[in-house]
């Protein structure tokens, strides 16, 4: 019945939205959709799981603890931390070729880089090359902001100070010992190396650090970290960059080197090897462990069986679920048959 506008001024808009009649799709959980759905998901997961598992199986990992807890270990002598410049050796034998590009990691256990204070204690301004902060580091760096003589510490803070300083050399024991070349280039994140961390612009680099002192744990100042490669110094030192990217979990490994060289580019041949370790880093006091990890990688990263197994388990679970549902469905669909 047509009415004058005035008389129906209060009439609500009769739209699908205001009347809550928007066309709606209702997800239907009917057996015809859910059961095949579960089967499909299950099959897909099992497929992925198998692929992951096989990939993971094909990754070779060699982990060797060199903390020196056991008296039999060559590094036992160094673990007390009393000997200066202690060097120990780690021997290992490969019965078959260690295939692919081999990555050389060092690993630490029970080491909390994720500790809040550890992470907070650094000055990103320093690390981006801002020399103002060389003379007055941020207060978050305490207790490594200034040394006892009130000289600013660069790089300041707990993170930098506790940088891992064991060094490794790898030798193949064939006809005496043959150095396996280790390549330390490009082991840090591209973004860290090129954008986040910057050296102060001064030549030579050390001039920028006048009036500052090195972190107390360090044996060398930051501009002399790598004496062999001039560009690998300062805050752009690859090992430093790797260390400063804090590990998420207390048991972690960090990339130390890639094994390169004409003889080893496609893997380590079988034979006897030794790693010569300059044992500097103390971990015994907090029950930490140090290890060396040699590993090749695949598209899924390092060796990890978990994900493959998980996919397999969940996939099978989905299949089981679908069967349970089928039984339930049959039972209630045809109740007389049961």
Partner 1 sequence: MSDHPSHDMLFNETIPDIFICQTRWDLRILVSNLPYEGLPKTKQPNRYFPGNAVKTTKYSLWFFIPMNLYEQFHRFANLYFVGLAVLNFVPAVEAFQPEVAIVPICVMLALTALKDGWEDCRRFRSDRRINHTSCRVYSRKVSGFVERHWKDVRVGDLVEVASNEIIPADLLLLHTSDLNGVCHIETASLDGETNLKRRLVVPGLNTQDSSFEPQNFHCTVAVEKPNDNLNQFKGYIETSDMKRLGFGIDSLLPRGCTVRNTDLATGFVVYTGHETKSMMNKNGPQYKRSKLECKMNIDVLFCVILLFSMCLIGALGKMSLNVPLFLTPGSHGHMDSNPLSGLYMFFTMIILLQIFIPISLYVSIEMVKMGQIFFITNDVDLYEEKTDSRVQCRALNIPEDLGNIHYVFSDKTGTLTENKMVFRRCSVTGTEYSHNENGKSGKCKFPDRKLLQRVLAGGGDWDGCGGIRRCEATDLYLDFFLALTVCNTVVVSTATTARAQRQRVWHQSTSEIDISAQRCYVAESPDEAALVHAAKVYGFMLIARTPNSVKVRLPHGVELNYQVLDTLNFDPHRKRMSVVLRHPISGEIVMYTKGADYTVMELLDFERSAYKLNTASTQRHLNWYAKEGLHTLCFAKKVLSESAYKNWSLLRQEALAAIDNREELLMETAVNLEKQLTLLGATGIEDRLQECVPDTVMALREAGVRLWVLTGDKAETAINIAHASRLLDQEDLVIHMNTDDKAVCKSILDRSLEEGRRHTRPGYPGLSIGLVIDGHTLDMALQSDLVDRFLELARLCRSVLCCRVTPLQKSTVVKVVRERLKVMTLAVGDGANDVNMIQAADVGIGISGQEGMQAVMASDFSISCFKHMKKLLLVHGHWCNSRLSNMAIYFFYKNVTYVNLLFWYQFFCGFSGTSMIDIWLLIFFNLFFTSTPPIMFGVMDRDVSAETLLGLPELYRTGHESEGYSHFTFWIAMLDAFYQSLVCFFIPYLTYQGTDIDIYTFGSSMNTVSLFNILLHLAIEIKSWTLVHWVTMLGSVALYFTVTLVYSATCISCNPPSDPYWTTQQQMSEPIFYLVCVITTVVALLPRYAHNALIYIKGAHIFHWPTFLQPAPPNQPSPHTVSLSLFHSLSLCLPQVHIPCAEQHAGPHPPHTGEASGAAGPCHPGTVDQGVEGVQRRATGRAELPETDPGAGAFQNHTYTLHHQQSPRNPNSECSPAPPQC
Q: For residues 96 and 99, give the distance between their C-alpha atoms in angstroms, rounded to a whole number.
A: 9
Which residues make Cβ contacts (< 8 Å) with residue 223, sequence separation at least 6? 204, 205, 206, 208, 209, 233, 234
DSSP labels for 126-137? HHTT-THHHHS-
Q: How far is the CB of 191 from partner 1 (least distance, A)?
A: 4
Cα distances (angstroms) measured from residue 335 to each of 31, 269, 321, 322? 16, 67, 20, 19
In our burial notation (b when 16+ CB lie closer than 10 A, e otherwise), range 62-71 reads: eeebbbbeee
Of residues 182, 255, 268, 292, which one binds partner 1 by CB under 8 A? 255
Q: Binding string to partner 1 for residues 296 to 315, with x set by CB under 8 A, is what?
A: ---xxxx-x-xx--xx--x-
Q: For residues 228 and 274, give the distance between their C-alpha atoms in angstroms, rounded to a whole number.
A: 23
Q: How many residues bind partner 1 (CB under 8 A)?
A: 92
Q: Binding string to partner 1 for residues 59 to 88, with x set by CB under 8 A, is what?
A: ------------------------------
Which residues, 165 to 194, sit near partner 1 by CB under 8 A? Answer: 189, 191
Q: Is 95 in the site for partner 1 (CB under 8 A)?
A: no
Q: Is 36 in the site for partner 1 (CB under 8 A)?
A: no
Q: For residues 242 and 189, give the distance between their C-alpha atoms in angstroms, rounded to a whole number.
A: 8
Of residues 72, 85, 93, 148, which one binds partner 1 by CB under 8 A? 148
DSSP labels for 202-218? -SSGGGGGTT-B--TT-
Segment lying near partner 1 (by CB under 8 A), choices 40-48, 65-73, 231-239, 269-277:
40-48
Q: How far is the CB of 24 from partner 1 (least distance, A)?
A: 4
Which residues, 100 to 129, sit near partner 1 by CB under 8 A? Answer: 105, 107, 111-125, 127-128
Segment lying near partner 1 (by CB under 8 A), choices 25-33, 176-184, 199-207, 231-239:
25-33
């Amino acid at each position: 019945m047509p009415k004058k506008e005035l008389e129906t001024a209060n009439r609500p808009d009769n739209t699908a939205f205001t009347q809550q009649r928007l066309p709606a799709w209702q997800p239907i959980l009917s057996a015809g959709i859910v059961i095949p759905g579960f089967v499909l998901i299950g099959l897909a997961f099992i497929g992925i799981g198998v692929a992951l598992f096989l990939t993971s199986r094909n990754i070779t990992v060699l982990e060797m603890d060199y903390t020196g807890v056991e008296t039999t270990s060559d590094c036992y002598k160094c673990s007390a931390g009393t000997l200066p410049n202690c060097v120990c050796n780690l021997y290992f034998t490969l019965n078959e070729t260690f295939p692919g590009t081999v990555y050389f990691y060092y690993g630490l256990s029970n080491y909390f880089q994720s500790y809040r204070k550890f992470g907070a204690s650094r000055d990103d301004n320093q690390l981006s090359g801002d020399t103002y902060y060389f003379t007055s580091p941020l207060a978050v760096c305490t207790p490594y902001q200034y040394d006892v003589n009130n000289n600013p510490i660069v790089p300041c803070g707990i993170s930098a100070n506790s940088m891992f300083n064991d060094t490794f050399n790898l030798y193949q024991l064939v006809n005496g010992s043959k150095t396996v070349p280790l390549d330390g280039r490009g082991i840090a994140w591209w973004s860290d190396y090129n954008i986040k961390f910057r050296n102060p612009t001064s030549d030579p680099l050390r001039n920028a650090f006048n009036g500052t002192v090195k972190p107390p744990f360090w044996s060398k100042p930051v501009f002399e970290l790598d004496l062999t490669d001039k560009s690998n110094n300062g805050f752009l030192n690859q090992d430093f960059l790797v260390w400063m990217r804090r590990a998420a979990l207390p048991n972690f490994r960090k990339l130390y080197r890639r094994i390169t060289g004409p003889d080893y580019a496609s893997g380590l041949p079988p034979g006897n090897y030794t790693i010569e370790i300059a044992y500097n880093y103390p971990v015994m006091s907090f029950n930490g462990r140090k290890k060396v990890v040699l590993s090749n990688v695949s598209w899924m990263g390092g060796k990890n069986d978990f994900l493959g197994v998980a996919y397999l388990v969940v996939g099978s679970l989905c299949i089981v679920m679908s069967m349970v549902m089928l039984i339930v469905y049959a039972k209630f669909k045809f109740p007389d048959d049961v």
